[in-house]
Amino acid sequence: MRRVPDRSPRNMLQFANPTRFMTFSARLQPWLWGSAALVLAVGLYFALVASPVDYQQGQTVRIMYVHVPAAWLAMFCYTTIAISSLGTLVWRHPLADVSARAAAPIGAAFTFLALLTGSLWGKPMWGTWWVWDARLTSVLVLFLLYLGLMALWRAFDDPARAARPGAILALVGFINVPIIKFSVDWWNTLHQPASVFRLDGPTIDMSMLVPLLIMALGFTLLFLALHVAAMRNEIMRRRVRALRVRTASQLSLAEATAS
């Protein structure tokens, strides 16, 4: 009788164990790095050369092609952490905590980049580096959340003990993501309202929307490549820790037997 492979979600989850992830990700990585480099190169050509200058903002509009993808990734990365945290709390999946921990520094870097490029765009256009409006402040809170998560994880020697409190903090902090997204609609902000993801369609001209979407895709591929690499490092770090703990306990047992 022919054996039918079990493709139930429960069985598919077993494919995501750390050892199988290391094998699978080693094959995936070159494709991720290569496609990220290619899409970013095309995106940069459009952003810096082929796209027109804005009739009001002039060359300054080119900051949009790095600022907006960085801001999208800041939220996408936190959403990845929140979904991974759900995996830690509900299914206690070993890769879920690894995924959350690996994503946090990358998310913090992109959030910082969104704040920095936003400031560099704000000074010539608004006449100020910073204003305490709802969008800017909620993104700053997101950056502080990333730092808080990383500090919490580092406060524990054993990553397994840090997983649960980290996951709870990450999920509580997720409330900030819709606040960031809708802050420009709920409050009167200096920051402009949404111009790409709108119910009535984008309000940007196609000559600027296409380069923006290419850059956003390139940034997303770059994040995926960085995240997979950081997850591999985290798995190896845990293996190093486990081996060191095992060696230390064998040594202390040998000393106790000898004395």
Partner 1 sequence: MSHMGFVVAAYSATALIVVGLIAWVRLDGAAQRQALEELGDRPRGGRD
Q: Which residues bind partner 1 (CB under 8 A)?
A: 19, 21-27, 29, 48, 56-60, 62-63, 66-67, 70, 105-106, 109-110, 112-113, 116-117, 120-121, 123-124, 222, 226, 229-230, 232-233, 236-237, 239-240, 243-244, 247
Phi, psi of 192 (to 5 degrees): -70, 155
Q: At its nearest, how many Å lie between partner 1 and the CB of residue 143?
A: 13
Q: At its nearest, how many Å lie between partner 1 and the CB of residue 4?
A: 28
Q: At its nearest, how many Å lie between partner 1 and the CB of residue 41?
A: 13
Cβ-based nearer residue to partner 1, 143 or 179: 143
Cβ-based nearer residue to partner 1, 167 or 226: 226
Cβ-based nearer residue to partner 1, 135 or 232: 232
Burial degree of 96 (CB within 10 A; 0-12, 13-18, 19+): buried
- Residues written for the chain: 259
Distance of CA 258 to the CA centre of its chain: 51
Cβ pair 170, 149 in contact under 8 A: yes
Task: Give the whole-angstrom CA distance, residue 83 versus residue 12.
Answer: 18
Q: At its nearest, how many Å lie between partner 1 and the CB of residue 56?
A: 8
- 116 residue type, one letter: L
